[in-house]
Amino acid sequence: MNNAPIVEVEDLAASYDGTTYVLYGLSFVIRRNEVVYVLGPNGGGKSTLFKVLIGSLPPVRGTVRLFGKPLKTFKDWRRIGYLPQVVRESIPEIPASVGELLASSSSSASDLSPEEALELMGFDDVDGVMKRRLTDLSGGQLQRVMIGLALINKPELLLLDEPTVHMDTPGMMSLMDVMRRLSLEMDTTIMLATHEISVIPTSTTRVLCINRYHYYDGTIGELVNSETLCKIYGFHTKLIDHGHG
């Protein structure tokens, strides 16, 4: 079914200690092919939402369905690609080359090859990058490799948590283009969490804006023209229209 719901969340509440709610009363539906930006200030609950969606933090209330199946019985995790919010400092400890890291996840014939994943992520000198050690990459290069890793099994749902951290503006723009191509060409549904409102590509982009108990679900264009933004973000901010799309 083309327009099938991929992520359904109803009245979700999440908590780490069982007493303080980090998310409360959150509901939304994301359908196949959509690219939705999860926007909100630091501490607003974006990463927590992703932890719930990948099954690592059980909801304290509400229902979550993935590909139409209740989270509790969902087992098809290969259909989901996840980029955790990277703590840059923890990565250089992995003593491997880019090629070795990617090859370790490219396990079936239908997966992307390491070279294909790197090409998709905009690397020109793919053979050269394959041989580089992870420790030798810049923050932006490493981030693109990690996104390539999340993509390698051609996931139907891609969850990217702060993928633009460490990227310069051209890097961010090309990442947004890659996301749009993935949704169109590979039928990928994408949720991309960011605290930076300036990475939202066009004014018609759907944003799910979250700050604990305050939510907004609609286009970024409407959000910036509403009172809701101040309530959620706690400050006035201006949308930068990158003029593409």
Ligand X SMILES: Nc1ncnc2c1ncn2[C@@H]1O[C@H](COP(=O)(O)OP(=O)(O)O)[C@@H](O)[C@H]1O
Binding stretches for ligand X (CB under 6 A): 16, 22, 40, 42-48
- Tell me which of 47, 143, 205, 211 binds Mg ion, using CB under 5 A: 47
- The distance of closest approach from Cβ of residue 7 to Mg ion in the complex, given in angstroms and rounded to an integer, is 18
With CB atoms as reference, the residue minimizing the distance to Mg ion is 47
d(CA 2, CA 106): 27
Tokens 């014939």 found at: 109
Which tokens in the block code for residue 41? 């200030």
85 sits near Mg ion (criterion: CB under 5 A): yes
Q: Is the Cβ of residue 82 or residue 123 nearer to ligand X in the bound state?
A: 82
Closest CB 162 distance from ligand X, rounded Å: 8
Measured in degrees and rounded to the nearest 5, phi and psi for residue 165 equal -60, 140
Can you tell me whether residue 150 is helix, strand or coil? helix
Q: How far is the CB of 46 from ligand X (least distance, A)?
A: 3
Q: What is the CA radius of gyration of the chain?
A: 18
Q: Which of 78, 48, 42 is nearest to 60 (CA)?
A: 48
Closest contact distance (angstroms) between CB of 16 and ligand X is 3
Give 112 or 232: the residue with its C-beta nearer to ligand X.
232
Q: Which of Mg ion, ligand X, none lies near 22, with the C-beta cut-off 5 to 8 A by kind?
A: ligand X
Q: Residue 2 binds which entry of Mg ion, ligand X, none, with Cβ cut-offs from 5 to 8 Å by kind?
A: none
Contact between 104 and Mg ion by CB under 5 A: the answer reads no
Q: What is the DSSP string of 59-124?
A: -SEEEEEETTEEGGG---GGGEEEE----GGGSTT---BHHHHHHTT--STTSPPHHHHHHHTT-S
**Could you list the residues that contact Mg ion (CB under 5 A)?**
46-47, 85
